[in-house]
Amino acid sequence: MVLCLFLTVLHYCFLFFYQLMTSSIPPMEFASSSSKLPRMYDVLINFNGEDIQRKFVSHLDSALSAVGLTTFLHHPNALNPTHIQQPILNLCRVAIVVFTRTYSQSAWCLHQLQQIIKWHQTYYRHVLPVYYEIEPSDVRLQKGDFGEAFKATAQETFSRQQLEHGISRWSHALTKAANFFGWDENNHRSDAELVDKIVKIVLNLPLLSTTKFPVGLQSRVKDVILTIKSKSTQVFTIAICGMEGSGRTTLAKAIYNQIHGTFTEKSFIEDIAQVSQTRGYVPLQEQFLSDVVKTKVEISDVEMGKSMIWERLYGKRVLLVLDDLNDYGQLGLWGTSSWFGEGTVIIITMREEDLPSMHEVDSAFRINPMNANESLELLSWHAFREPKPKKEYRVLAKRVVAYCGALPLALEVIGTYLYKRTKDEWNRVLIRLDNIPQHEVPQILKISFDGLSNQIEKDLFLDVCCVFVGKSRAYVTKILNGCGVDPDSGIRVLIKRNLIKVKENNKFGMHHLLREMGSEIISEISREESRKNSRLWFDEDLQHVLSENTLFSSPGTKVIQRLYNGRDFFERYPLEVRDPSRLLKFAEDYEFHPKKLRWISLQRFSSKYLPNDFYLHDAIAIDLKHSLLRFLWKETPKVLACLKVLNLSHSKYLTKTPDFSRLPSLEQLILKDCPRLRQVHQSIGCLCNLILLNLKDCTSLSTLPSEIFGMIFHHCLATLQIFEVFWCNVTPSLNYMSK
């Protein structure tokens, strides 16, 4: 109660200072929730004004709710200071922006629109504009009364020095939003007709991004769905088989998008083979449970996950897609088919050679190779942005198709590389293709890698390939920025070239064949530069679970990460470097003191504390999730001036935090689910750069130092940014509040 009162007071102080200091606008507000875990929403409705809420938004909200969609009304008066949770946008699937004459009168709305556009570009979510009693062109071009109000709001909000830049950012957001597909209220006979159209569109939006150019996809989707419908009275498991790069995942996503609307409990688990290798099986079970109950679920081990699946889903009709399953044992992670109710559909994607081991599969759909016309069309869409090649390129395009062997991945990557290329450049590519042995797909893909315009882009690809697959784009950017590398433009190029993917959860992904290609490149570099300690590929066959690599994009910078395989290699310290593989293992007789060690990921670390001679002074991020630490280090180290992220979450035996006075640059402190944590060091008040503090589920933490509230208070007033806090159930010290 006291904590809620304090945060309420803090909120109103923040609003007061915000009105006084208009040189900056606060970021997206945080969702309020009475539950311990954040609720997930289907639709966010962004608007300004009570009039539009009464006239239109309330009807739209009711109609969306009536068909089972959860909504969040997002407007300047929506702030509830009682609870501070994660940004509401990250919990949503669709944003509807209702533009009215008064929308541009609100600096809050214009700033939130910026965040919505950024969210769209980052997570590839849907943004749908509605124009109510206003012309779309007035919004797009900021003209008329809307434009006049827009200029007045900017002049009131920004200082003279910031005005031009602020107007440019707001204008870009408005223009970008107005270019999306949307609805003009003037084109409809009534609000009821408009609402009905919006609801139908939202219901049919794809949940998962599939492919820009779905050539030949729909006929295959239709065939699989017909098979599923014929088995609608039973629990039906169907496998989608095909060679690497044949489009198995794309087909599964397209099927999921078409049939998910008829299921209440549903989940798409992507990249199972890759995730299980690097993070184990628990995160996969957590995703499944979180998807079906629409609330984030956390489990401690596989058996607990299976028990929860049985409890929550026994006898229920479920849609479950298991992408890239390569081991029969993985199927048991989600229980057995007998647990689920009639009408349940389980779709598995796998290589055809793995099919015989899947005994519970009822039917198999084999993806046949694309025919010549489909292959040529797919290449043309990527190379020319048209369904057919330009006349003068037709012969060249047919020859490229012949070399790519009707494999969608190869056609996409090579086609994208050839976009806007001259005929001479096409011929040079054909000469290279002619020298590549048949079925050597990684060598075909390497043409695009070799064609990257600079070494920075190539280095970034190799860094993602070897180290950062499955990691958050924002997290990777923070690490590389700390190494003096600006990766943004290079990452955009790699995405456009189809060499890397950014998934719906904003994490990096990469096709298995592209990773194989990257592995071969890194192995070649290793052989040529072994004496220079260049980064080498993690050798899976040696079964070591700790790898040390030097970043290509920042020579001399090293990262250490633990790769999950269910065994514990952390009983002995220090570390040994084994050449030429450069794999690290704990050994008794050697010592390891890596300099320029920027990112340390040692999940499930089994020692009671980090060794004193473990060099951490250059670290930007330390990730020790699920460790057995009692405390972080026995002797306080010298100042770790570079450290920005410290993640000790799920450390079951951690009893106290370190002295934070030696961590002046810390921005994120994650102590979630440390059940024995009893003490937070009072020096936390010195962390003037901290923007994220997670103390959720620290059940033994009964009090917090007063300095923590002073830090939050002064941080908000100094930076005008909401401080992101996840609270445990604690009673704060009242010393600071009395001051």
* Angle of helix 488-496 versus helix 473-482 axis, rounded to 10: 140
Residue 630: inside a domain, yes or no?
no
Amino acid letter, 659? D
Residue 316: inside a domain, yes or no?
yes
Residue 637: inside a domain, yes or no?
no
Decide: 720 and 18 in contact? Cβ < 8 Å.
Answer: yes
Shared domain check, 221 and 95: no
411: its two tokens: 């056609």
Whether the pLDDT of residue 450 is over 70: the answer is yes
Shared domain check, 151 and 170: yes
pLDDT digits (tens, 9 = 90+) for 543-562: 334 455 566 666 655 555 54
Helix ranges, 54-103 (H): 58-66
Whether the pLDDT of residue 158 is over 80: the answer is yes
CA distances from 145 to 49, 110, 117, 151, 165 (A): 16, 16, 23, 10, 22
Residue 430: inside a domain, yes or no?
yes
Distance CA 681, CA 666 (A): 14
pLDDT digits (tens, 9 = 90+) for 461-480: 988 888 888 888 888 888 88
User: Domain boundary residue among 450, 476, 493?
Assistant: 450
Shared domain check, 408 and 319: no
Shared domain check, 329 and 188: no
Average pLDDT over residues 331-349: 85
Strand-strand pairing, 546-550 and 558-562: antiparallel
pLDDT digits (tens, 9 = 90+) for 658-712: 888 889 999 889 998 898 998 888 888 888 888 888 888 888 887 788 777 766 6
Shared domain check, 144 and 165: yes
Q: What is the pLDDT of residue 595?
A: 54
Q: What is the pLDDT of residue 405?
A: 81
Shared domain check, 308 and 234: yes
Q: Average pLDDT, whole number, for the chain?
A: 77
| Tally of structural domains, the chain | 3
Task: Tell me the torsion sign for CA atoms 318, 324, 327, 333.
Answer: negative
Radius of gyration of the chain (CA): 27
Amino acid letter, 606? S
307: its two tokens: 């028990």
User: Domain boundary residue among 450, 485, 517?
Assistant: 450
pLDDT digits (tens, 9 = 90+) for 368-382: 888 999 999 999 988
Distance CA 683, CA 166 (A): 37
Whether the pLDDT of residue 170 is over 90: the answer is yes
CATH number, position 268: 3.40.50.300
Shared domain check, 155 and 55: yes
Q: In this predicted structure, which of 466-470, 563-567, 600-604, 676-680 has the lowest mean pLDDT? A: 563-567
Q: How many residues does the chain have?
A: 739
Distance CA 618, CA 346 (A): 47
Q: What is the pTM assigned to this prediction?
A: 0.62
* Residue numbers of the domain that contains 356: 217-366
Whether the pLDDT of residue 339 is over 50: the answer is yes
Q: What is the largest CA-CA distance in the chain?
A: 82
Residue 22: inside a domain, yes or no?
no
DSSP string, 246-288: SSHHHHHHHHHHHHGGG-SEEEEE--HHHHHHHH-SHHHHHHH
- Ramachandran bin of 238, using left for φ above 0, alpha for ψ from -120 to 50, beta for the remaining angles: beta
Shared domain check, 94 and 180: yes
Distance CA 103, CA 132 (A): 10
**What percent of the chain stands above pLDDT 90?**
22
Shared domain check, 378 and 350: no
On the CB side of 490, CA atoms within 13 Å amount to: 23
Distance CA 306, CA 289 (A): 10
Whether the pLDDT of residue 576 is over 80: the answer is no
Decide: 553 and 463 in contact? Cβ < 8 Å.
Answer: yes
- Identify which has the larger pLDDT, 513 or 550: 513
Residue 195: inside a domain, yes or no?
yes
Average pLDDT over residues 21-46: 47
Residue 51: inside a domain, yes or no?
yes
User: Domain boundary residue among 419, 450, 481?
Assistant: 450
CATH number, position 146: 3.40.50.10140
Residue 683: inside a domain, yes or no?
no
Shared domain check, 66 and 42: yes
Shared domain check, 193 and 116: yes
Shared domain check, 176 and 195: yes
Distance CA 660, CA 146 (A): 49
